[in-house]
Amino acid sequence: MTFDAWRRGARAVLAAAAVLILASCSTKPEEPAEVYTQRKQADGLMVQGHQRTDRLALDAARSAYDAALGLYASLDDRDGTASALLALGRIARMSGSPDDAAELYGHAESLARRGGGAELVQDARNHLADLALRRGDPVAAADLLADSEPPIADGRVRAAQLRLRGSARYELGAADEAEILLIRAGEIAEAAGEAVEAAQSWYKLASMASLEARFDAARTWALRALEADKSAEYSPGIAADLRALAIISAKAGDDAAAEDFYRRAWLAWRGLGRSDDAASARRELESLTGRPVSVP
């Protein structure tokens, strides 16, 4: 299925979901067994989608999320529908379709505002803010990341909100404030058992320190990110952390460490089937060593 064909189908499902949601009552009877079974199926499909996304099997992940979206919509499950839309938006963004991602994120936020909790609304706004940052608009991102009243509780969504706010503040020239926000975000994520989210904060801190030529600090943060991603067995994060450590080591003049990290990053990207990233790491390794690298 092409992405355009999938998008047309997803819009049809979303339209049906909107009709169901607008017609729903504020209270519902106890859930029948059939409904419970379908909800569990949808939840299981979301787990499958997350696992496939972690392996960068994006088409397979999209199929799982799309099936979950259909089930949630048929059940008039507003929160589930919004979560599936956010997941599909992330796949669109990772597939190089930021406009489609923005549309899906916007639909998710709209659904969340019709009855989801403040945390779900902020989750949607976090996704929109992340997209704004990737598009080079930290002002728009900062607006999306303002605290609600009262603010949401500490957890994955709160950690992401603070991490993205820190990234926005850094882009706006407030490096000291950014560092405080990122450290707090990582601490909240760790306390919540969200290792991958924590790793993203440590990775950003490593990048900031590297840009400021604070290579000891950069290496410390990057190693902490690597440790967190390894604890979660998050392979794309591990590969990115290894490449970051290679770049930091090369900048610091430690060519032996840089060679080791580049080689490990290359092999990690190869194992994930990310040919472009693998080729980039291989070129960087060959440039560092001055000799061609053989394929094992």
Q: Is 266 helix (H, G, I), strand (E, B) or coil?
A: helix
Task: Specify if 46 maps to a domain.
Answer: yes
Alpha carbons 295 and 171: distance in angstroms, whole number: 39
Give residue 17's pLDDT.
Answer: 46
Task: Specify if 192 maps to a domain.
Answer: no
Give residue 291's pLDDT.
Answer: 92
Beta carbons of 141 and 168 less than 8 angstroms apart: yes
Alpha carbons 60 and 38: distance in angstroms, whole number: 20
Q: What is the CATH number of the domain that holds 111?
A: 1.25.40.10
pLDDT in tens, the chain (296 residues): 444 444 545 454 444 444 444 434 334 446 788 899 999 999 999 999 999 999 999 999 999 999 999 999 999 999 999 999 999 999 999 999 999 999 999 999 999 998 768 999 999 999 999 999 999 999 999 999 999 877 899 999 999 999 999 999 999 999 999 999 999 999 999 999 999 999 999 999 999 999 999 999 999 999 999 999 999 999 999 999 999 999 999 999 999 999 999 999 999 999 999 999 999 999 999 999 999 987 76
* Burial environment of residue 245 by CB neighbours within 10 A (0 to 12, 13 to 18, 19 or more): buried
Which residue range(s) make up the domain with 105?
Answer: 39-116
Task: Give the count of domains, the chain.
Answer: 1
Task: Specify if 21 maps to a domain.
Answer: no
Give residue 11's pLDDT.
Answer: 52
Task: Specify if 281 maps to a domain.
Answer: no
